[in-house]
Amino acid sequence: KGTPLPYTIGALAEYANEATPGSYEVSWAEGNSLKGKDKAANAVLTRNGQETVGEAAIIGQELSSITSSADEQQWIQFAQNKLSVTNFKELEEALVQLDHHLVMRSYAAGYTATAADAALWGALRASAMFQRNLKTKPEILGDNLVRWYAQVSSLEFVQRLVEAQQTAVKQQQASAPKAADQGSFDLGLTNIEYGKVVTRFPPEPSGYLHIGHAKAALLNEHIARSNGGKLIIRFDDTNPTKEKVEFEDAIVEDLRLLGIKGDMISHTSDHFQTIYEYAVKLIKKGLAYVDDTDQLTMREERTNGIPSRCRDQSLDTNLERFQEMKDATEFGLKCCLRAKISYDNPNGTMRDPVIYRCNLTPHHRTGAQWKIYPTYDFCCPIVDSIEGVTHALRSMEYRDRNVQYEWFFPALDLRPVQIMDFSRMNF
């Protein structure tokens, strides 16, 4: 085994066994690699004393013997290249394509299950992102894809494969000595350049730190220090209704008690003018619009994938209305600024999210200078980029929002920041 688990080649082998029993003998071994420390050796094919190492290499070698259908081979390549990615945005696009393909189909490439279904199922079974959404938010995956996945999962050759893998795990657990449960700071970070890593811990000064905050702060500090980098403590002070200096002081003291000292302390409010200018830029590019739709109607439209009546109003109208928001006029106070991304995206966070709203409460740092404030989802990628953050560590609750975070970089011509997820703490 390895990471990810080689379900694709396993499913293809068991599919071949359906047509010609005994074509392959499939067995599982529990461990990080079948070849010492070589993590690429997640699967090994042995034939006539010769070994082929690695799932991709085995598929390439055996593909023509498993199926001669060009259509099936095309979907097998799709499974390898499009469904085995770690970038959620890329995976999401592939899932939308597959869901659309399955609209009027029971199987991917025929009227019965084929090698294409085996490979597609294997890649999705091995995808941690797909499996997580399948359990928690199946609606964002598409009805046709979820239906097809359940149907293929019920097939005998698939069940045989899963049962064999689970049996291998249970046998290993039963025979292995019990070890102390121990966490790890290894997040599998990429693009690490020693001395140039910059992380940030961005608490909102609207309350006191809890243990979940402590985990995030320690993790960001560890990644920065272990790579000779820098840690930024940034207060996300974009909601004057909830925030107080008292909370900022308490957070700084709590971090000190944890042994955490940032290389710099900043505030999102330091960048309010810059963020405002980026909002204007987004409007001028036709990628944002001012919406005066009431909150209840807007919620219903976003839920049902209905475009706002304000979505296609002119650039001049949007600029005038955004100025009214900034001036806090009677009409402006009824409005919000929304990013013009999509009104019916399967991922709800991409449905034209609100990025600016009005608030007349004086800010604890800027006073009454501003009457409009950016949302966290809008200001976070902007400030991360301009402050030099290289790796943004975000808890899993933000995973669905990662694609939105990444959307703003090309939209605003900003340097992109790499995202890395970590699990949140639940009680």
Residue-by-residue pLDDT tens, the chain, 427 positions? 445 688 888 888 888 888 888 888 888 877 666 766 666 677 888 888 888 887 888 888 887 878 778 888 899 999 888 988 877 788 889 999 999 999 989 999 888 999 999 999 999 998 888 888 888 888 888 899 999 999 999 999 989 988 888 887 777 767 666 555 555 566 666 778 889 999 999 999 988 888 888 888 999 999 999 889 999 999 999 999 998 889 999 999 999 988 998 999 999 999 999 999 999 999 999 999 999 999 999 999 999 999 999 999 999 999 999 999 999 999 999 999 999 999 999 899 999 999 999 999 999 999 999 999 999 999 999 999 999 999 998 887 778 889 999 999 999 999 999 988 887 666 5
- Can you give the pTM of this predicted structure? 0.60
- By C-alpha distance, which of 341, 349, 416 is closest to 376? 349
Query: In whole angstroms, what is the distance from residue 63 CA to residue 15 CA?
Result: 12
**CA dihedral defined by 99, 105, 106, 108, rounded to 10 degrees?**
-70
Query: In whole angstroms, what is the distance from residue 154 CA to residue 157 CA?
Result: 9
Query: In whole angstroms, what is the distance from residue 120 CA to residue 211 CA?
Result: 40
Q: Do 239 and 204 meet the contact criterion of CB atoms below 8 Å apart? A: yes
Query: In whole angstroms, what is the distance from residue 385 CA to residue 203 CA?
Result: 17
pLDDT tens for 309-365 read 999 999 999 999 999 999 999 999 999 999 999 999 989 999 999 999 999 999 999
Query: In whole angstroms, what is the distance from residue 263 CA to residue 261 CA?
Result: 7
